[in-house]
Structure 1
């Protein structure tokens, strides 16, 4: 069967798709084939470490979710479809840890090995595409699977990123679900899709949004463009409500460790205040330990701005 060739909007690394690093060295190779074809000598193979049966990764290569996906593809000898986190990585999704197992769908087989989860889920022909040499579930099918397989909050984080990085719309995920009635996890998937927002640019932004919504506040808009008095956009805010000019900003580590970023943050906050915007800043510790304080602070600012909260 011929599958459509697809490329996501973000350029994928050469190591992930072609198996070569930037220096032209094969990063991930099937050992026996590389020896047979003369691509490597036995001495050369010693510069690699074994990741799976007959699959080797160069010792200098960084192990990522994308390189794990390619290694799983080689392990299956092309007789499977990359799915789950592996498919998401191939489609350019960020924020996938290297510790996540690669995932394959192979009909009739569920024999998993260390680092590779094999599933026997049914795939429709238009739910598979080709990226480079590899068969991969489409972004919509990938989201359908991850939305069922993962805990709700983690699923929302990953699907936010998948939608942001591929242009996938939540309605497309629901469309796939409509063709797989009776599958396990559909109730959880519906919950996940109801929270997905392609505007989120990081997991902490997603977590902040979920805290606010679950705290009873109106769903905030994401990536709000902020205009100066001449109508020129000079910044974008993580979350907020334009109607009441209240913003919520997540302060990641780079806001404190990067001096230039810190300087811009100070100048930006002054300009926002001059334009009448109120900003509530949030950090990782508050999200972990005091989410109720975040909700209370934001509710107070919204109420002061006239919001019916």
Structure 2
């Protein structure tokens, strides 16, 4: 049996009896089942929602971004489907948006919005910072082009959130490796700093990149790095010490940030680094 399947189809094919279905499997959604005790992934829940739609729905929104490879998507998000149904079960959100044929792709048998359409949907919704973080991750996974999303938006002139979409697309940077890095980048630009470059190569003597810095400004040789590991991984911590020593020897000043640092503190440290380098 598949990890997630349609119960009535399993019974009709003779793969399971009704007794086996009741005893060894649990219902996830109407007529959609999975083995008892199985830990469901976001992919499992997405497939379950699609099967519940009789394989007619198109996966969209955050669930689509996860299918397309975007990271940092919570496993318990509601699964969005573009499918005309006004009474979805708990955990599923249905929409009846206009989707053009060129805005739908296939992931195996399942229909999913294309990267451009997924970026369009996510960019129009929610707080700007959150939308940018989601599109950063999607851009890193799919390499969608901002211009293609802007062109797609012209075909949907009456969708709510188009003004926000323009702002979000101007802020997207696929160099961000986590939502925290996106947050820090936006914090810096909101505070008046020039837009930082991301994934800055630090070169070895032979000219090849040896390390990459999360973000920074090459003209003043100041970088900002987010450390979400808290040094719980000793081998990584050991490598980071050697890495930081090398980065410092070639002239970079690195401001390291962890989750516990307050915004005012971070901005003060970055300003101080700029002042010292300018001197």
Specify which of 255, 263, 272 is matched with residue 247 of structure 2: 272
Go from structure 1 to structure 2 and tell me whether the alpha carbon gap of 1:40 and 1:238 turns closer, same or farther (over 3 Å shift): farther
Q: 2:32 and 2:133 mapped to 1: Cα distance?
A: 31
Report the alpha carbon displacement of residue 85 of structure 1 after superposing the two structures with TM.
Answer: 1.4
Q: 1:283 and 1:266 mapped to 2: Cα distance?
A: 16
Q: 1:215 and 1:64 mapped to 2: Cα distance?
A: 39
Q: How do 1:1-309 residues align onto structure 2 when only pairs under 5 Å count?
A: 26-45=2-21, 46-106=23-83, 108-253=84-229, 255-286=230-261, 290-306=262-278
Q: TM-score, normalised by structure 2?
A: 0.94
Report the alpha carbon displacement of residue 238 of structure 1 after superposing the two structures with TM.
Answer: 0.8
Q: 2:90 and 2:119 mapped to 1: Cα distance?
A: 24
Report the alpha carbon displacement of residue 41 of structure 1 after superposing the two structures with TM.
Answer: 3.5
User: 1:73 is paired with a residue of what secondary structure?
Assistant: helix
Q: TM-score, normalised by structure 1?
A: 0.85
Per-residue displacement from partner, 1:152-175 (whole Å, max 9, x unpaired)? 221111111011001112222212
Go from structure 1 to structure 2 and tell me whether the alpha carbon gap of 1:192 and 1:228 turns closer, same or farther (over 3 Å shift): same
C-alpha RMSD of the superposition: 1.6
Q: 2:185 and 2:203 mapped to 1: Cα distance?
A: 23
- 1:17 alignment partner in structure 2: none
Q: 1:303 and 1:170 mapped to 2: Cα distance?
A: 34
Unpaired stretches in structure 2, ≥5 consecutive residues: none
- How many residue pairs get aligned? The number is 278
Report the alpha carbon displacement of residue 215 of structure 1 after superposing the two structures with TM.
Answer: 1.1
Go from structure 1 to structure 2 and tell me whether the alpha carbon gap of 1:47 and 1:94 turns closer, same or farther (over 3 Å shift): farther
> Quick check: 147-156 or 120-129, which moved more?
147-156
1:110–1:120 contact (8 Å) kept in structure 2: no
Per-residue displacement from partner, 1:14-45 (whole Å, max 9, x unpaired)? xxxxxxxxxxx521111111121133344543
Unpaired stretches in structure 1, ≥5 consecutive residues: 1-24
Q: 1:256 and 1:47 mapped to 2: Cα distance?
A: 43
User: 2:2 is paired with a residue of what secondary structure?
Assistant: coil
Per-residue displacement from partner, 1:232-280 (whole Å, max 9, x unpaired)? 3211111111222111110112x51100000011111111111111100
Per-residue displacement from partner, 1:80-129 (whole Å, max 9, x unpaired)? 111111211111111111121000012x4443321000001111110011
Report the alpha carbon displacement of residue 60 of structure 1 after superposing the two structures with TM.
Answer: 4.4
Report the alpha carbon displacement of residue 229 of structure 1 after superposing the two structures with TM.
Answer: 2.4
